[in-house]
């Protein structure tokens, strides 16, 4: 090996050792950065006055692709009702976890505590669909209703689905009269008349479901009620509205006035045979 080759090897060795020496501190730094202190979700912490490590989101904060909570599309509530919600949240003297007594309707929020058929009463739920319903929407609503709702509420919306036949709780009928030739008379343990809202009845409001605002249906599907679970995880908001539109179609099929039907359809209905569940005059 020549002197020149020895000198070159010595230089390469020196460079390697210098690079290794420089890398050692960086390795130590990476180890410390990779093992940073953190809190798991819902873990306690003494850093904040409320003792929680997870910080609550500010009102109105949403992640990308999510709607504002006050949008009727995802809540079924009117913007006026959301104003009452925010006002109540801002009052530190109110306990939001305690159910509001029926006699104190003004302090409650997001509950069917007012009969919206009375014009002077506050509007809690929206009464119109948040988007135009097309025939395609109705088809989608029928499909989703068949999948998620008919097992309990029945294909006709009379509350006599297959789950009920096997001894489950009596679901609510969407009609105030018997609509099927094989429909059975059922004793209702809640004493609520057939086709009347059980949620409204808790606030001493007697209202048939066909007159309940569509926003109320949306809230029940979203949050559940009684023996009915929440379907917010299974059914996207837009499909919930489509299901409600189909329920309205079921109700109209049993309670539509002849004068409101298109002429061709009115002719077909009046020409159909008359029986106990198919009455002339546009009331099939």
CA distance 216 to 125: 6
55, part of any domain = no
Contact status, residue 160 vs residue 181, Cβ threshold 8 Å: no
- The alpha carbon of 120 is separated from its chain's Cα centroid by a whole number of angstroms, namely 28
90 or 273: whose pLDDT is higher? 90
Read off the CATH number of the domain in which 162 is found: 1.10.760.10
176, part of any domain = yes
Which of 2-6, 185-189, 201-205, 240-244 has maximum average pLDDT? 240-244
68, part of any domain = no
96, part of any domain = no
256, part of any domain = yes
pLDDT tens figures, 70-95:
899 999 999 999 999 888 888 766 66
pLDDT tens figures, 216-225:
999 999 999 9
3, part of any domain = no
120, part of any domain = no
pLDDT tens figures, 175-218:
999 987 788 877 665 678 899 999 999 999 999 999 999 999 99
pLDDT of residue 170: 83
CA distance 138 to 242: 6
Q: Show the domain range for 149.
A: 135-271
Q: Is 26 exposed, middle or buried (0-12, 13-18, 19+ CB in 10 A)?
A: exposed
Task: Give the total number of structural domains in the chain.
Answer: 1
CA distance 101 to 240: 30
265 or 220: whose pLDDT is higher? 220
The tokens describing 93, both together, are 């003297």
């Amino acid at each position: 090996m020549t002197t020149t080759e020895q000198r070159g090897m010595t230089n390469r060795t020196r460079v390697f050792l210098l690079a290794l020496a420089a890398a050692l501190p960086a390795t130590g730094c990476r180890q410390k950065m990779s093992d940073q202190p953190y809190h798991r979700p819902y873990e306690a912490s003494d850093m904040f006055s409320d003792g929680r490590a997870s910080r609550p989101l500010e009102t109105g904060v949403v992640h990308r692709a999510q709607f504002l909570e006050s949008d009727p599309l995802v809540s079924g509530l009117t913007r006026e009702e959301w104003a009452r919600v925010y006002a109540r949240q801002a009052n530190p003297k109110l306990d939001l976890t305690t159910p509001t007594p029926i006699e104190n309707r003004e302090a409650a929020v997001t509950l069917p505590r007012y009969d919206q058929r009375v014009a002077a009463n506050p509007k809690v739920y929206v009464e119109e669909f948040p988007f135009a319903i097309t025939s395609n929407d109705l088809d989608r609503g029928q499909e989703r209703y068949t999948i998620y709702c008919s097992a309990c509420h029945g294909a006709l919306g009379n509350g006599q689905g297959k789950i009920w036949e096997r001894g489950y709780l009596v679901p609510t009928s969407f009609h105030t009269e018997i609509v099927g030739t094989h429909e059975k008379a059922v004793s209702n343990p809640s004493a609520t008349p057939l086709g009347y809202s059980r949620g409204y009845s808790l606030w001493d409001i007697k209202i048939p479901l066909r007159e309940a605002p569509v926003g109320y249906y949306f809230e029940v599907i979203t949050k559940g009620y009684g023996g009915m679970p929440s379907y917010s995880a299974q059914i996207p908001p837009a499909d919930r509205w489509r299901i409600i539109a189909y329920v309205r179609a079921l109700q109209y099929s049993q309670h539509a006035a002849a004068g409101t039907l298109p002429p061709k359809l009115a002719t077909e209905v009046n020409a159909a045979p008359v029986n106990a569940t198919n009455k002339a005059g546009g009331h099939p």
